[in-house]
Homo-oligomer: A and B are copies of this chain.
Amino acid sequence: MPEPTKQELLIGVDLGGTKILAGVFTPQLKLQQTAKLSTKSERGFDAVVARIARCVRDVVDEADLSLKNIRAIGIGAPGAIDPDSGEVIFAPNLRWKDAPLKKELERALDVPVFVENDCNICTLGVHEVELKGKPRDLIGIFLGTGIGGGLILDGKLYGGFNKTAGELGHMVIQVGGPKCGCGNNGCFEALASRTAIFREIQKAVKDGGKTVLTEMLGSDLAELKSGDLRKALRKGDKLVEKVIEDAAEYTGIAIANLINIFNPEVVVVGGGVIDALEDEMMSIIVETALDYAMPGTTKGIEIIASKLGDLAGITGGAVLAKQKVK
């Protein structure tokens, strides 16, 4: 890498409920270095801000740079964000309310900081870096503990009236279906998130279903991870196969809904569940979506899995930082 001139590099930060990931990027958005810290959200807002600042200093130092080389920082946080003020309005996973993230991080690091919702930032990263900014209209869907999304319309991140657009996980697709964390029933998130998949497997085991997972992890399945599901599937586990198939079908129906409503050029699917189970889920997702979407709506539309995986958040953070200081 050529010697960076002063203040030319970008940092992307992915702030999660359990870990903080930071990455240094060139102005051309090439990733140079990453660093990781646990979030320890139970210690409260000030302590987490200090840990984010430490993670940023770590990654800068690891890359043999100083904060003087950093032009701006973009950070994705889980919850409702005011991108103008950089406040986290509400982040239930972190137990934050009206938290001045931009202000406090700028005070700690003396570098411009920009904040966005985590799923919006992942969508931005996929759009700009993985898809080279090409699709004019794009929907990003991220399947993890919960389900979130982001919308790119006319080439730009779309926030809507209250900047809360993209809450795709709480689209009800089965009135009267399973209870969701949000209080409603039958949300997409209550049917196809990791939480929903684990709940269905645990329910099936309780009802006497047989799975290799209980041999691997014990009958309470307390330590279940997405990777275990892949292992079970590769051993031909029928119970896990059925649950994953159902989740993939629900995801396909949700995507068909979004194609019927929006008609985007590209739908990109990512998140921990897809990172672990892309081979097992994507063909069912695509087939179901094409089956449910109205005739004529899907012509030329792509439904693809993101290749960025865990790096979507920091990549999008760097994109945000670059866009804001341009």
Q: Which residues of A contact B (CB under 8 A)?
A: 80, 89-90, 136-137, 149, 151, 153-154, 158-168, 170-177, 182, 184, 186, 250, 253, 256-258, 260-265, 292, 294-301
Tell me the number of copies of this protein: 2
With a cutoff of 8 Å between Cβ atoms, the chain B residues found around residue A186 in the complex are: 174
Q: How far is A173 from B107 in the complex, measured between Cα atoms in Å?
A: 46
Contact partner of A253 (CB less than 8 A), chosen from B175, B265, B300, is B175
With a cutoff of 8 Å between Cβ atoms, the chain B residues found around residue A149 in the complex are: 261
Looking at A158, A170, A298, which has the most chain B CB atoms within 10 Å of its CB? A170
Q: Say whether, besides A172-B257, A175-B174, A256-B172, A163 and B263 are in contact (CB < 8 Å).
A: yes
Q: Say whether, besides A173-B173, A257-B171, A300 and B165 are in contact (CB < 8 Å).
A: no
What's the nearest-Cβ distance from chain B to residue A283, in Å? 20
Q: How far is A244 from B253 in the complex, measured between Cα atoms in Å?
A: 27
With a cutoff of 8 Å between Cβ atoms, the chain B residues found around residue A182 in the complex are: 294
B162, A261: Cβ atoms closer than 8 Å: no
State the main secondary structure of chain A at its contact with B.
loop
B137, A161: Cβ atoms closer than 8 Å: yes
A171, B299: Cβ atoms closer than 8 Å: no
B164, A158: Cβ atoms closer than 8 Å: no
B264, A160: Cβ atoms closer than 8 Å: yes
What's the nearest-Cβ distance from chain B to residue A239, in Å? 21
What's the nearest-Cβ distance from chain B to residue A237, in Å? 24
A161, B296: Cβ atoms closer than 8 Å: no
Q: Say whether, besides A258-B261, A261-B261, A90 and B166 are in contact (CB < 8 Å).
A: no
Name the CB-closest residue of B to A156.
B154
What's the nearest-Cβ distance from chain B to residue A30, in Å? 30
What's the nearest-Cβ distance from chain B to residue A300, in Å? 7
What's the nearest-Cβ distance from chain B to residue A125, in Å? 20
Contact partner of A90 (CB less than 8 A), chosen from B161, B263, B295, is B295
Q: Say whether, besides A172-B292, A253-B175, A297 and B164 are in contact (CB < 8 Å).
A: yes
A296, B89: Cβ atoms closer than 8 Å: yes
Q: Say whether, besides A153-B158, A172-B173, A250-B175, A90 and B260 are in contact (CB < 8 Å).
A: no
Q: Say whether, besides A170-B294, A174-B175, A175-B177, A137 and B164 are in contact (CB < 8 Å).
A: no
With a cutoff of 8 Å between Cβ atoms, the chain B residues found around residue A264 in the complex are: 160-161
B174, A174: Cβ atoms closer than 8 Å: yes
Name the CB-closest residue of B to A139.
B261
With a cutoff of 8 Å between Cβ atoms, the chain B residues found around residue A296 in the complex are: 80, 89-90, 162, 164
* Listed A/B pairs (28) with beta-carbon separation below 8 Å: A90-B296, A137-B161, A151-B262, A153-B153, A153-B158, A154-B154, A160-B264, A161-B264, A161-B300, A161-B301, A162-B296, A162-B301, A164-B260, A165-B262, A166-B261, A167-B260, A167-B297, A168-B261, A170-B257, A170-B294, A171-B257, A171-B261, A172-B253, A172-B257, A172-B292, A173-B173, A175-B253, A261-B261
